[in-house]
Amino acid sequence: MIKNIVIYIILLLSAFAFNIFYYAWFSWFLFVVIICIPPVSLAISLPFMINSALKGFFVFSEKSVYKNSEFYIGVTSRKRKSVFCPVVKINLRAINSFTGKKKKIKFKYSGFMNKPVFIKADRLSSNCGCIYISAKYCKIYDFTGIFFIPVHINCFTEVYVMPKAEKPAVMPTPENMLVIGHKAKPGGGFSDIYDLRPYQSGDSMKNIHWKLSSKKDELIVREPSMPVYKQFIVKMHMDNSADKNDKILSKFVYLCRYLNENNITFYAEIEGKNLIFEIKEKNDITMFLKLLYKNLPSSQCAVNHENVIVYSIFPDREEVDGI
């Protein structure tokens, strides 16, 4: 460490000047002692430094956290064995691929590393996105902090910062998802809505409409149907501000959960990117956000824009078209 070297040089020059202007046995003894500090420290520290360098270090973190939540990065010995470090210094680099923000994290530790040591890095969860954490360098110093051994450290971990749900001011209702027709219910089963058609080989006997069949003099089957709703698109109008985008994503997550609870399949779209992602269940929301964070192209879906409801989310408002 440069600071330690500067301090030692100042201390050495002071002892030298003291020895010149105040010649006595203890001034000479003090000067010799100060000269011997670095080599003695190196001799004592070197076995521990080499041992620590050979075992190496491993950096890890949680895979996913919520925005503005507590976040920790862990450092441990690569072989998960106890190791003594005189002084270890690791510089980490964190990049948010969604916001483009970069941050540096400094880790310094001295003592036995028989279990993981954690660094609190809450500022990394201040904005939504995918955080890539890599090691800039790792050095093991002696006790004085003057001599060091550079250590190659393999560290590349990613963390997803997910938005906390926030209820939008304008909420759609299932009644507004207008029915434009009906279709056969997949897998059959019970339904209050059904079509009537002639019996086909393989149809269940439970679905035969016996009264109508006796009148028609042929077997008539009830085919369970389900309503076909207008296609629902949630369109996000992203901004250049990371904080405003966080608000948009918070509203988006709340709306997605609401639509999932009402068994409504919908599509997510980013304004200006012409990318549409179909969301049927909760896991689809997470998958879409991960693709968005990494700026990866999402699934292309064909949407009939003649029968569509568009729910637009802006940083400060919501708009609904097509109802």
Query: With a cut of 50, which residues of the chain have pLDDT below it?
Result: 190
DSSP, res 233:
E
8 A C-beta contact, residue 268 and residue 276:
yes
Rounded CA separation 317/307 (Å): 24
What is the predicted pLDDT for the residue at 55?
A: 84
Residue with token string 């011997």: 36
What local confidence, expressed as pLDDT, does residue 286 receive? Answer: 92
According to the model, what pLDDT value does residue 209 have? 66
Nearest to 183 by CA among 229, 231, 219, 220: 229
Per the structure block, which two tokens stand in for 55? 């075992």
| Domain covering 1-160 in this structure, CATH number | 2.60.40.10
CATH 2.60.40.10 maps onto the chain at 1-160
Q: φ, ψ for residue 244 (rounded to 5)?
A: -70, -40
- The closest alpha carbon to 176, from 225, 256, 232, 227, belongs to 232
What is the Cα–Cα distance from 30 to 35, expressed in whole angstroms? 9
pLDDT at 306: 66
**CA 273 to CA 300: how far, in whole Å?**
11
Give dist(CA 214, CA 181) in Å, integer.
29
